[in-house]
Structure 1
Amino acid sequence: MTLTADLFWSFRSPYSYLATRRYRALTEEHDLMVNLRPVYPLAIREPAFFERNHPNWLRYTFTDMFRVAQFHGIPFGPPKPDPIVQNVITREIADEQPYIFRLTRLGQAAARRGQSLPFCDEVSRLIWGGAENWHEGDHLAGAATRAGLELAELDAEAVEDAEALDAEIASNQAALEAAGHWGVPTLVFDGEPFFGQDRIEMAVWRMQQKGLAPR
């Protein structure tokens, strides 16, 4: 029996990146379908989030995400550029955001095709894996191809159907909160949320209780 789960995920979240390839490998090795449902990051949903956090929050997060990557042997480099335009010193979120809306709509367009997990995995490997100017040249087109998709088709849909895609993305966020959490990455299996890249093993343990089996 194929088990299913929803993975709520953001292109700006380093921890989403650090979790994605492991969830993707899980689906390739087991009778499991993971529906990746992209959401807009906190920087878009709650711009004041960064300003009201403790000053040590950002420093610790940077330390920890590099440490997690090293622990798991996952390539990791600061995104060039960051999917969110933000002043690192003041934490202020810029009004103009040239990347995140396109990316998230592309992710949702891929979700319509049942390919959001491989697509978002491939794109996040560019953004967080150290690719210089991931938004230029053939980087994104190559990522789409590796996921079995055509970037031109996704981009056209992201422009022509932006309003409907944004409604679907908002629905993803509502579903995440209804499941009992608000952050990413959160895997929801059988109504139970597992927040963070450090809960993958526990999620697998729960799935095994419900019959998760190797392919």
Structure 2
Amino acid sequence: MTYSAELYFSFRSPYSYLSVGRYRSMAEQYDLEIALKPVYPLAVRQPDFFERNHPNWIGYTMRDMVRVAQFHGIAFGPPAPDPIIQDMTTREIAPEQPYIKRITRLGQAAARRGKGLVFAHEAASLIWGGAQNWHEGDHLAQAAAKAGLDLAELDAEVSAEPDTLDEEIAANQSALEASGHWGVPTLVFENEPFFGQDRIEMALWRMKQKGLQPR
């Protein structure tokens, strides 16, 4: 019996990146299908989030994500460019956000084809794995190819259906909140949310309780 779960994911979230490869490995090792559900980051949904947060929040998060990557042996580096255009001094979010809009819509287009999880892992590895100018050249084309996808085809879909894709992405966010959480990464299995990269082992434990078996 194949089990199913949904992974709510943001391409701007370092913790989403630090979880997606481990969830991909889980889906490859166990009789499990994980459907990617891309959502826009808080910087898009709540542009004043960073202005309202505690001043220590950014510094702590930067320290923590680096040590999580080191702990798990995951390649990690600051995104170049950041998927969100933001003034890090004032924390102000720019009104136009071409990078995050494109990559999130690409993720949703990949999810339509049942390959969202693999694409998210390959693309996030560019963004957060130390690649320079991940949005240029053939970086994303190679990431798409590793996921069994054609970037030109995905980009054509993004250009033709931006509003429809955004509606699907908004529906993902609504489904996440209906599950009982609001942030990413969150894995939902049988209506039970597991938030954070530090809940992966617990999610697997729960699925094994329900009978999940290795492939």
Other-structure match for 2:16: 16
Tell me the equivalent position of 1:194: 194
Give the Cα separation in 1 of the matches to 2:54 and 2:116: 34
Tell me how far apart the structure 2 counterparts of residues 76 and 10 of structure 1 sit (CA, whole Å).
16
1:89 is displaced (CA, Å) by: 1.3
Question: RMSD of the alignment, in Å?
Answer: 0.5
Other-structure match for 1:150: 150
Aligned to 2:43: 43
SS in 1 for 2:8: strand
Matched, 1:124 2:124: yes
Q: Secondary structure at the match of 2:98?
A: coil
Superposition deviation, residue 122 in structure 1: 0.2
Q: Secondary structure, in 3 states, of the residue corresponding to 2:17?
A: helix
Matched residues, percent identical?
71
Q: Distance in 2 between matches of 1:165 and 1:94?
A: 22
Unaligned runs of 5+ in 1: none
Counterpart position of 1:80: 80
1: CA distance, partners of 2:49 / 2:96: 18
- Residue 164 (1) aligns with residue 170 (2): no
1:33 aligned partner? 33
Q: Which runs of 5+ in 2 are unaligned?
A: none
**Aligned residues, how many?**
215
User: Aligned partners of 1:43, 1:133: CA distance in 2, in Å?
Assistant: 21
Q: CA deviation at 1:205?
A: 0.4
- For 2:134, the equivalent position in structure 1 comes to 134
Runs of 4+ in 1 over 6 A off after TM superposition: none
Structure 2 partner of 1:106: 106
**Structure 1 residue aligned with 2:95:** 95
Offset, 1:208: 0.3
- How many angstroms apart in 1 are the aligned matches of 2:144 and 2:67? 29
Q: By how many angstroms is 1:98 displaced?
A: 1.8
In the alignment, what sits opposite 2:71?
Answer: 71
TM-score normalised to structure 2 length: 0.99
Deviation (angstroms), 1:56: 0.2
**Aligned equivalents of 2:98, 2:160: Cα separation in 1:** 17
Shift of 1:96: 1.9
